[in-house]
Homo-oligomer: A and B are copies of this chain.
Amino acid sequence: MSHLSSRPDLLARVHRIAGQVAAVEKALSSDASCATVLHRVAAVRGAVNGLLDEIIAEHLNDHVALPGLSDEERAVGADELLAVIRRYAK
Q: Which residues of A pack against B, CB within 8 Å?
A: 1-5, 10-11, 14-15, 17-18, 21-22, 24-25, 28-29, 31-35, 37-39, 41-42, 44-46, 48-49, 51-53, 55-65, 67, 71, 74-75, 77-78, 80-90
Known: A3-B34, A14-B28, A89-B89. A84 touches B39 (CB 8 A): yes
- Chain B residues closer than 8 Å to A81, beta-carbon distance: 38, 60
- A56 touches which of B24, B33, B38 (Cβ 8 Å): B38
- Chain B residues closer than 8 Å to A4, beta-carbon distance: 28, 31-32, 34, 37
Besides A48-B48, A60-B60, A67-B74, 12 new A-B residue pairs in contact (Cβ under 8 A), listed by A number: A2-B34, A4-B31, A4-B34, A24-B51, A38-B52, A38-B59, A39-B83, A42-B84, A45-B45, A45-B52, A65-B74, A65-B75
